[in-house]
Structure 1
Amino acid sequence: MIKTDVLVIGSGPAGSSAAKHAALGGAKVIVIDKKSEIGAPKRCAEGVSKAGLADLGIEPNVRWVTKELDGVRLVSPNGTDVWLTSDEIELPEAGYILERKVFDKYMAMDAARAGAEIKIKTLAHGMRKEGDAYVVTCEHMGELFEIKANIIIAADGPESRVARWAGLRTATKATNMESGIQFEMVGVEMEKKDVIEFYFGTVAPGGYAWIFPKGDDIANVGLAVITNDTDKTPYEHLKDFVANCPATQNAQAVEFNIGGDPVGGMPKKIYDDNILVCGDAAGQVNPLTGGGIISGMKGGMHAGIVAAGAIADGDFSEDRLEEYDKNIRDDIGHEIDKYLKVKDYALSLSDEELDSVADAFQDIQFEKVSTTELVKNLIKVSPKALLKLGKLL
């Protein structure tokens, strides 16, 4: 039996952030991950915001930044586009495109430097309550062993088993779980190579398609769909998108990625006696863009800080750990709620209404745009879209 103060299950960005801050707070920390290589395979379009990294105190590194971004292109079903640059409007998930296979390792290395012990290729099979602690049964290279921890931090992704083992209801409803699928491609012919592109409408029912440039003619090209909203598979939608999008018709895939993306916001409860849940496992994802790196790392940071404080106090109770819930909701909860409304509005629109909304944004200077001006344009091009917006708000 191995004993530790804090056991973090999952070494993605959220888990590594949790481990780092728990260790910096003086706790004895172990991190386990089932993968042989931290960061691989990637399940992400790899975009992060500059402000988000700054909030976390992380300096960009040329080893894991592949592209610096200057804006976003939003494309409606008929090809009408709206260009937004970073000096005009706050852009969620726009700033850098990462190389996740390198970034995730660097974040794990930060946790190790802070004092956390990392165990790779170590799978959690189950856990049981024992006194004021949890005992987790683990497997490494065919050998079973146990880790006893006063606090478990569940950072094991959108399909989190750990929270379920602890009796927490954090599972994402099918209507809020996007199925993401992506190629990394070469030969992509983008109009501008320093913007990320989002495509809306029936190209990706319940979600959107994207092109995220990684430099030269390389880009992540993918989409996310709600499978309940379509009779086609995500792969069929992606193949159609690649075949029909002018930027990708001559491109070739060199990597294939799949994964689930919880876009329904945070569950009601993400903590209990001896356990905290963070990252994708806690729905800490931007519901509009699907981006969860920064928000998940903030969840990990708050979980690690509270866990270390609880260890110092010798109190691992639900009442003590509730501080984490308050802190993370104060930090990112309002942003998640805001983008949930925007997502719900976008998904309520037909292809024709999406085209009309894109028309309403034509020739608007965003640094000078007012609500009155936007409403006037929507009235002209689509009263129905404006009515739906009013009902949502």
Structure 2
Amino acid sequence: MIETDVLVIGAGPAGSTAARYAALGGADVILMDKKSEIGSPKRCAEGVSKKGLAKVGVDLNPRWITKEIDGIRLVSPNGTDVWLTQEEIELPEAGYILERKVFDKYMAMDAARAGAKIKVKTLATGLEKVDDGYIVHTESMGKKEDIKAKIVIGADGPECHVARWAGMKPTTKAKEMESGIQYEMVGVEFEREGVIEFYFGSVAPGGYVWIFPKGDDIANVGLAVLAHKADKPAIEYLDEFIENCPYTKNAQPVELNVGGDPVGGMPKKMYDDNLLICGDAAGQVNPLTGGGIISGMTGGMYAGQVAAEAIEAGDCSKKFLKEYDKRARDDLKHEIDKYKKVQEYMLTLDDAELDNIAEAFQDVNFEQISTTELVKSLIKVSPKALLKLGKLL
């Protein structure tokens, strides 16, 4: 049997960050992933903020940056668009479009450099609680293998098998799991380069369509829908959009990505004796945008730090590990709760109301690009939004 202080299950950005910080804290760490290639297949539109990367201690590397974001374009159902680019406003630091297949590998490499051991093509098949931790049953390179850990960190995505096996309630209800589907496409046309585009309304019920440029004529074109709001599969909405959108109708797909996106917020409990969960498995996702790379890495950072502290203290009890829950909530909960309310409000709007908001936005002088700034402006132009959301900001 293999033994370690900390076992991180899932080598996405959240898991690799947890492994890195646990190793930096002096713990013996194993980071495992079921895939043969970390980062592939991607389940992500690949956008991140510059400030977010700095927050979790990631140094920029041009190998995993495909495009710097120069602004955003919001498009209502009737085609009314709102441009927020350097031509309209003075841009603060915005962000980047990543190449996740490279980025995820580099995050795992950073964990390895910090001292973590990495096991690829290693699938967790179950957990067994023992007095001083967990025994995790795995299939590694076709062989059954057990790993005993004093602390297990579940960073295994929206499926959250680790939490379920440990008896913790699932993070997200079925009605709060968005169905996402995306093509990486070539031959996409842009009015302005480097601008990420969002299309709202009945083109993607319960979510939105995105076009994220990746340089030249390449872009991620995808959407997310809520099943209880949709009357057909997500791929049918996407194919219909691509066929009708002038910017994508002549483009060709070179890759298809699918996956669930948990937008229900963080669960009541993200820890137990010898156990922590982070990232998508812990609902550390912005419910309004569906973005979870930086928030998941933030959760992973706190999980790794607290795990290392617990190992050093010789106390892996839930009483000690509750500190992770506190740090993660202090940092993430306010934003997640706030944008959950905005998301719920957006779900009440029909296409005509979205068009009216886009028309009203034409006369708004935006000071900067941020989700908060957009919500503030929404409250200014919509009496209904003021009534529903006025107390948020």
Please give the TM-score of this superposition, normalised by the length of structure 1. 0.94
- Counterpart in the other structure of 1:126: 126
C-alpha distance in 1, partners of 2:111/2:136?
A: 21
- Counterpart in the other structure of 1:240: 240
Cα offset, 1:244, TM superposition:
1.2
* 1:97-176 equivalence runs, <5 A: 97-176=97-176
Output one character per residue of 1:358-389: Cα deviation in whole Å (capped at 9) or x when no partner.
111112211299999876643xxxx5565555
Q: State whether structure 2 residue 332 is matched by structure 1 residue 326.
A: no
C-alpha distance in 1, partners of 2:296/2:329?
A: 12
- Counterpart in the other structure of 1:314: 314
- Counterpart in the other structure of 1:42: 42
Cα offset, 1:390, TM superposition:
5.4
Output one character per residue of 1:240-277: Cα deviation in whole Å (capped at 9) or x when no partner.
11011111011111100000000111111110110000
Please give the TM-score of this superposition, normalised by the length of structure 2. 0.94
Q: Give yes or no for contact 1:14–1:278 (8 Å, CA) kept in 2.
A: yes
Q: Give yes or no for contact 2:378–2:385 (8 Å, CA) kept in 1.
A: no
* 1:1-393 equivalence runs, <5 A: 1-85=1-85, 94-367=94-367, 377-378=381-382, 387-389=387-389
Output one character per residue of 1:311-362: Cα deviation in whole Å (capped at 9) or x when no partner.
0001011110000011011112111112112211211111100111111111
Residues 390 and 298 of structure 1: CA distance in aligned 2, closer, same or farther (over 3 Å)? closer
Q: Give yes or no for contact 2:137–2:147 (8 Å, CA) kept in 1.
A: yes
Cα offset, 1:307, TM superposition:
0.1
1:184 aligned partner, one-letter code: E
Residues 366 and 3 of structure 1: CA distance in aligned 2, closer, same or farther (over 3 Å)? same
C-alpha distance in 1, partners of 2:5/2:247?
A: 51
Could you say what secondary structure the match of 1:344 adopts? helix
Residues 233 and 89 of structure 1: CA distance in aligned 2, closer, same or farther (over 3 Å)? same
Residues 23 and 217 of structure 1: CA distance in aligned 2, closer, same or farther (over 3 Å)? same
Q: Give yes or no for contact 1:353–1:385 (8 Å, CA) kept in 2.
A: no
Q: Give yes or no for contact 1:88–1:366 (8 Å, CA) kept in 2.
A: no
Deviates more, 1:359-368 or 1:150-159: 359-368
Cα offset, 1:54, TM superposition:
1.1
Cα offset, 1:160, TM superposition:
1.0
Residues 213 and 372 of structure 1: CA distance in aligned 2, closer, same or farther (over 3 Å)? closer
C-alpha distance in 2, partners of 1:72/1:148?
A: 47
Compute the RMSD of aligned alpha carbons. Answer: 2.1
C-alpha distance in 2, partners of 1:121/1:111?
A: 17
Cα offset, 1:141, TM superposition:
2.1
Cα offset, 1:191, TM superposition:
1.1
**Structure 2 unpaired stretches of 5+:** none
Could you say what secondary structure the match of 2:189 adopts? coil
Q: Give yes or no for contact 2:379–2:389 (8 Å, CA) kept in 1.
A: no
Q: Give yes or no for contact 1:89–1:366 (8 Å, CA) kept in 2.
A: no
C-alpha distance in 2, partners of 1:174/1:250?
A: 35
Could you say what secondary structure the match of 2:153 adopts? strand
1:24 aligned partner, one-letter code: L
Q: What is the total number of aligned residue pairs between the two structures?
A: 387
C-alpha distance in 1, partners of 2:265/2:65?
A: 28
Output one character per residue of 1:50-78: Cα deviation in whole Å (capped at 9) or x when no partner.
01011112121110000001211111111
C-alpha distance in 2, partners of 1:375/1:112?
A: 46
Residues 290 and 374 of structure 1: CA distance in aligned 2, closer, same or farther (over 3 Å)? closer
Deviates more, 1:252-261 or 1:138-147: 138-147
Q: Give yes or no for contact 1:170–1:270 (8 Å, CA) kept in 2.
A: no
Identity, in percent, stands at 70
C-alpha distance in 2, partners of 1:372/1:116?
A: 43
Could you say what secondary structure the match of 1:229 adopts? coil
C-alpha distance in 2, partners of 1:20/1:390?
A: 40
Could you say what secondary structure the match of 2:255 adopts? strand
2:2 aligned partner, one-letter code: I
